[in-house]
Each structure stands twice: as C-alpha cells, then as structure tokens.
Amino acid sequence: MTAGTYPSPEPVEDPEALRADEAAYRDLADAVRELLDLTVRTRVDQPERAAVATEVRALSARLSARAQDGPLGLETTSDGRLRDHGNPMVGMRNPVAPPLTVRQTGEGEAAADPFVLGAAYEGPPGHVHGGIIASVLDQVLGTVPAIVGRPGMTAYLNLTYRRPTPLGQVSGRARVAGTDGWKTTVTGELLDADGQVTVEAEGLFVVPRWARQYLGTPTGDAGDFEAPAEAGPDA
C-alpha cells in the first residue's frame, strides 16, 4: 500500500494494449521463474553453468537498458485498476512469486487457488521453508481485510506449524474472525496436495493511520461501513 505516492509511470489508455503489455510482463516472469527453478536443480557440468551465467548476465544488461529506479509500489492505470506487480507472492512481474492467485470465496473469505511450490522454496528436505509459508499466509490472510473494505498492514501473524508441508501443490484459505474499528482479525490455513491442513494462522491487520482518511468510518462490522466521504474519527 502507498498513500497514492506511486502514480503509474506509464498509464495505458488502450485496454487491448494494456492486456498485451501485461501478458508480456507475465511471460517474462514465467520464463525467469523457470530459470530460477532450473538454477536450483541443474546438474549440467561446470563449463556449461559458466556459459549460462554469461548469457544470463547479457540478458540482464538488455533489461537494464530501461529500468525503474527502486520498487514498483502500487500503480494505478487509466483503466482504474490498482497494480502491485512487484509483490513477491502475487505480483505478475515478479519471478520470485510462486505466483499465488487469491480470490474472494464468500463474504469475508478468500482462498489461494492450488499452486506449486518447487525446489526453490525448499526448507527441510522435500518440504516447504517455514518463512515461505509465512509469506504465503500473510498474503492470503492479508487479502481478507481488503475484501471487507479495511485493507490493513500486518500487525502480527501467528503461525502454528502442525505438520511439515511437502513441496508440490498447496493451497490456502482465510476468513474474518473479528473486526474492531480499524482492526481486522483473520484466521486461515495452508493445505497440502491431499487437502490436509499443515499450518494454521491468525493475523491482525490494521489500517494505518495515514490510510484512514481514504476509507469510511468503521462501524465494527465487516463489510458494513459508511461511505468514504470523511476521515475516520482518529485518522
């Protein structure tokens, strides 16, 4: 989130052009993600690895011919969408992102469609790194307050790792557990390919003071808030 300090450097007026532009960014990230995975898993011999490293550096030089200074932030486009393309969990431009697709599944509920965590996300042998799991659940749980109109920053995220999560297909889900003004408590789980819960999470998401003026006054009930005409009581 930003306070509107990251206007799009390249607003696109033509929706077709925007779609094509975004598809090309997504394709580049997909290709580099494949490279990341194979960089971890490759067993080609040393001279071949050295040759590939030289080629990859040449490709980086091509991309740096025109690159933004610093992070992407949250961009707005002329089609009215917000874009967090650099996000390391869902960002379409980010090859580090698995990527996750988090969707609203009901009132105050969200879920991450099944996605694959491969060799690049390994912690314990054959299993997902605990910090990666925290990132995934931060994103899945963090989407829920946004769905109910209270997009907040993570104040805390408590995780209970019930069992190791095998690498491969995983999914996630989350829902509102309670709201209190600018604060939303969310619970959620990570599930393995068999649908077994491996990790449980509870997070508190708080609309930061600087963002409250852009939202309506909270009434305390998720999804039930006043129009964003005026700042909240303690903004």
Ligand X SMILES: CCCCCCCCCC(=O)SCCNC(=O)CCNC(=O)[C@H](O)C(C)(C)COP(=O)(O)OP(=O)(O)OC[C@H]1O[C@@H](n2cnc3c(N)ncnc32)[C@H](O)[C@@H]1OP(=O)(O)O
* Footprint of ligand X (CB under 6 A): 138-139, 142-143, 146, 151, 153-156, 181, 183, 204, 206, 208-209
Q: How far is the CB of 55 from ligand X (least distance, A)?
A: 35
Q: How far is the CB of 11 from ligand X (least distance, A)?
A: 20
Q: How far is the CB of 9 from ligand X (least distance, A)?
A: 20
Q: How far is the CB of 47 from ligand X (least distance, A)?
A: 42
Closer residue to ligand X in complex, CB, 110/170: 110
Closer residue to ligand X in complex, CB, 41/209: 209
Closer residue to ligand X in complex, CB, 53/153: 153
Closer residue to ligand X in complex, CB, 94/143: 143
Partners of 224 in the β-ladder: 221
Contacts with 180 (C-beta within 8 Å, 6 or more apart), sequence order: 220
Whole-number Å distance between alpha carbons of 93 and 131: 21
Cβ contact 181:220 at 8 Å: yes
DSSP state of 212: G
Tokens of 173: 């889900």
Q: How far is the CB of 182 from ligand X (least distance, A)?
A: 6
DSSP state of 77: -
b (16+ CB within 10 A) / e for 173-194: bbbbbebebbbbbbbbbbbbee
Closer residue to ligand X in complex, CB, 26/183: 183
Residue nearest to ligand X (CB): 142
Q: How far is the CB of 191 from ligand X (least distance, A)?
A: 19
Whole-number Å distance between alpha carbons of 11 and 18: 9
Cβ contact 207:150 at 8 Å: yes
Nearest 5°: phi and psi at 175?
Answer: -155, 160
Closer residue to ligand X in complex, CB, 108/151: 151
Partners of 225 in the β-ladder: 218
